[in-house]
Structure formats: structure tokens, C-alpha cells
């Protein structure tokens, strides 16, 4: 079962995907097909730095979604890689865009996006604290 609001998407727009550790879900610069919900396992969203180093920009685990912004983009902005074997559901981009015609879907999607932004901003504030003890107290 998918979390709200994705549980209202028609089953014809859902594609199950399974992966082993190291399997790539999508590559940075690749065409977008939709967003994903992790059913089991874990997936990291990563970018490659100028010297080839990999930076984790998001950690997705069971019950969470990722690549939500891809429904508004032509290409993925990062790589998605399984770091723990598991199963995903890809929700087709066209189905998500069509679901925005439902005001309740749009509100819930927007609310979740706002909550993710707030959580990321809080994390950036904590990371910016110099002393480790202060970071622990802030988190």
C-alpha cells in the first residue's frame, strides 16, 4: 500500500522495481519517468563532485518517497542508488501531474513538500553549528 496522497494514483500508473545493493534506479541527467516510494530497503540520492567524490543529498527508506521534483523536470538532478536491497514503486510522472486536478491530492503533495523543505532547513542549521555538543543539543 502506498502512503497518502499516492494511494489515489491508478494502479496502471504504478511500476514495481526491485534492486540489490549498488543497483542504480536512475542517473543524473537521465530523462524523468516519475517519482518513487520505497517499500523495503534504502536508496541514496547522490551527486558526483568535480573530483569524482560522491555526496549523499538524501536518504530514502521504507515508507518514504523520493524524486518528487522530477515530475516538474525533464531530467533527474542526481543519481539514485540502492544501498540496501529492496523494493520500490515508481509512480508515472503523467499520473502524478494528472492527480493535481484533485485539490486534496495537490494540498497533501504541497504539504509534504513544505515539510521536507522545513526539515532540510533545520538540518542545515544544525550542520552549521560549530561545536559538536551544541549540534547534539540542537538536534
Q: Confirm whether pTM is higher than 0.95.
A: no
* 2: CATH: 2.60.120.10
- Whether 71 and 130 share a structural domain: no
> In whole angstroms, what is the distance from residue 65 CA to residue 88 CA?
9
**What is the domain range of residue 111?**
100-139
pLDDT greater at residue 131 or residue 118 = 118
- Whether 23 and 63 share a structural domain: yes
Number of structural domains (the chain) is: 2
* Mean pLDDT confidence for 73-79: 97
Q: Is the pLDDT of residue 88 over 70?
A: yes
- Whether 104 and 86 share a structural domain: no
Amino acid at each position: 500500500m502506498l502512503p497518502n496522497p499516492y494511494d489515489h494514483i491508478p494502479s496502471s500508473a504504478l511500476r514495481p522495481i526491485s534492486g540489490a545493493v549498488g543497483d542504480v534506479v536512475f542517473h543524473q541527467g537521465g530523462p524523468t519517468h516519475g517519482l518513487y516510494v520505497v517499500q523495503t530497503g534504502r536508496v541514496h540520492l547522490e551527486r558526483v563532485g568535480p573530483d569524482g567524490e560522491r555526496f549523499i543529498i538524501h536518504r530514502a527508506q521504507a515508507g518514504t518517497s523520493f524524486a518528487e521534483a522530477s515530475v516538474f523536470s525533464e531530467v533527474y538532478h542526481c543519481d539514485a542508488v540502492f544501498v540496501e536491497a529492496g523494493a520500490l514503486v515508481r509512480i508515472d510522472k503523467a499520473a502524478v501531474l494528472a492527480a493535481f486536478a484533485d485539490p486534496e491530492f495537490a494540498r497533501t503533495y504541497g504539504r509534504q513538500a513544505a515539510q521536507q523543505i522545513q526539515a532540510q532547513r533545520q538540518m542545515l542549521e544544525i550542520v552549521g553549528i560549530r561545536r559538536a555538543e551544541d549540534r547534539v543539543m540542537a538536534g
